Each structure stands twice: as C-alpha cells, then as structure tokens.
Amino acid sequence: MSDNSKKLKELRQEIDRIDDSILELLNNRAKLAIEIGSIKKEGNHAIYVPEREREIYQRLLNNNPGPFPNNAVKNVFREIMSTSISLEKTFKIAFLGPKATFTHMACLQHFGMSAELIPAKEIADVFDEVERDRVDYGVVPIENTTEGAVSHTLDMFVSSNLKISAEIMLEISLALLNRTGSISDVKKVYSHPHAIAECREWLKNNLPNAALIETSSTAVAAQTVVDDHDAAAIASEKSAELYDLKIVERKIEDHLNNFTRFLVIGKTSPKKTGNDKTSILFSVKDSPGILFRMLKPFAERGINLTKIESRPQKKKAWEYIFFLDVDGHISDKKVSDALKEMEGFCSFMKILGSYPKGEK
C-alpha cells in the first residue's frame, strides 16, 4: 500500500470515528429534547420559542472557528432543532400553498424538514387554520423588495387577533420552466402577478409575443404547464424538480437582489432578543399634520422606523389604516412610551407583536 493510500485510509477511519461521536451526541441531545418537551407539556409552555432559537444560532456562529462555514452551521442546526421539536410534539405549520411556492421554501428554511407543513389555498385560509387551532403557526408573505407589500396579508391583520411571532427573509430566484426546455416552444407564460412583474424586462426582451397569464401562485403556474407543450411557468427551480419540468432559463428576475419577507403568525409573542422588530396597525383622526405628530414620538426617542404602509379603510371612504414597523421590542421603555404617546392621536391601534428580526 502506498503512503498516500495509507494516509487516505487513516483519514477516513478518523472521519468514521467523528461521525460515530456526532451520532451519539445527536441522540443524547434528542433525549434531552424529549425531557424538555415533557416539562413544557406539564407547564403548558410553548414548544416553539423563537428567542431561544436565535440565542442558539448566535452562540454557535460566534463560537465557530471554521473552516465549516457559518451558513452551513445554521442549516445543520436548523434540521437538528426541527427534529428535536418533532420529538416533543407533532408541529404543524400552515402556509400559502401549494408545495414549491416561495412560502413553502420559507417554511423549510425557518422550520426545517421535520415540521408538518400544510398548504392552504388563500392567505385568509392560513389565518383561519391558526385561529381554529388546527395548526401551531402559519406563514404568509408580507412584502417583496421589488413589488412592495402583499395587501391581502395587511388586510387580514385588521380583523385577526393573531400575533407575529417571527419573520423570514428569503432570496427570490425565478426560472422559466416548461416541458421541453426550449424557449422556442413557449407561446404563453403562467405565473403569479408579482413574479411576472419581477421578470417584466426579461420577458419583453426574450418573449415579447408570449401571452402572460396570471395564477394564484408560482407553483400553480408550474402545475398548469405540465400538460401544455406551448406554455411555460415562471417559478422556483424546486418547482421543476417537483413537477418534472425542465429549466429553460435560470435567474430571469430583473433585479438580482430580490428578497421576500414572510411572517410567522400565531397566538403568542416572543420575548426580547436584543435584535427585534415591533409591528403596529393604526388609523388616525383626520386633521392637518396628523401623520407628522404620529411619527414624532419615535423620532424624539431615536427609534428607527423600517416600514410604513397605508391601506384604505374598507368601511369608510378616503380613510386609511397604516402598517408600521419599528426597531425594538415592546418591552423596551422607549418603544412602549412612544406607542403610548402615539395612541393618543389614534382612532384605532393594534400592536401585532414584537419578534426577532429575520436575517438575509
């Protein structure tokens, strides 16, 4: 045996020993998770604790000496924690479906593969599943960096009592898919209106004569073209894998730095992590300069506003509800003081929750 072959054999044996140690440690961790689950059940504590997950990730990433990259550390421990939660109880998540939508991908990114992911047809159905306790949490889109707010989600928060428990940032990469893999076969293109808008320049330059047909989701678009040789779908690459389609072109979005923000909705709010966001719904009593006075309490306290979005009131013409995101947690004194001062100018105000900021 050559020196190289001998060295290779020794290194592989060492990897086997390390793998055996990892397996033993994983099972030890699983036993502790089961014990923690029993304690949580007896005390009626929440199984999913976003602030605890953030703490685990942060500690691991801070302590990682490499060369194993931080993003891989997070992915590995995402699945470890996902499996640990599933050992504590069956963990159900409703999402805007069907499978292979970007909301589905956001669920996998955040909750891992061991959660039971249940597709819903509409955003309202996701809220309903959580409100009726058929699932533990729901995941819905709230905004895209290119196309802006998802109005249906904003509207649902007006009437719902659900809270925001976490947010998920997912990079969006769109592909053109069809049966043959050839662009010359494409006479019509199906997709969600946001996805079509995000690829408008590419479509104009490459498929100027194709009919553009809107669907309820990118995954529905992929399903639609399975039996149509003249059609293509704008969807995720995962849709190609799931629905046995071929990729005509990857990354056809007009803006490459394209992210969608998703919200995890439930009935509880996480505790402070130190890197949090608070979301509020409010409407104002109409008077000159009222919006300036509404936002002044935050400016005076140095609180950063990361989003403000308006939606028309459905019950009164020319009156609006505002959706506001601010940096900080409701337990922060300056945040709570600003909200108390702001409430005096409101005809309606609802705190949707404080939760850990999502990471790109």
- Select from 11, 35, 50 the least CA-distant residue to 275: 50
For residue 75, the tally of other CB atoms under 10 A from its CB is 13
Dihedral (CA of 92, 97, 98, 100) sign: negative
Extract the runs of DSSP E, i.e. beta strands, from 34-162.
Answer: 92-96, 116-120, 137-144, 148-149
Is the distance from CB of 284 to CB of 347 less than 8 angstroms?
Answer: yes
322 catalytically annotated: no
Amino acid at 224: T
Peptide bond into 288 cis (omega under 30): no
Neighbouring CB atoms inside 10 A of 47's CB total 16
Q: Which two structure tokens, joined as six digits, stand for 50?
A: 């976003």
The residue count of the chain comes to 360
- In single-letter form, the type of residue at position 343 comes to E
The count of other CB atoms within 10 Å of the CB of residue 27 is 10
- Ramachandran sector of residue 176 (left: φ over 0; alpha: ψ -120 to 50; beta: rest): beta
Q: Left, alpha or beta for 328 (phi > 0: left; psi -120 to 50: alpha)?
A: left
In the 8-state DSSP scheme, what is residue 225? G
Catalytically annotated residue among 260, 273, 282, 298 = 260
Q: Which of 91, 95, 127, 262 is catalytic?
A: 262
Paired strand residues for 138: 94, 265
Judged by DSSP in three states, 107 sits in helix
Give yes or no: 323 in active site: no
Q: What are the catalytic residues?
A: 260, 262
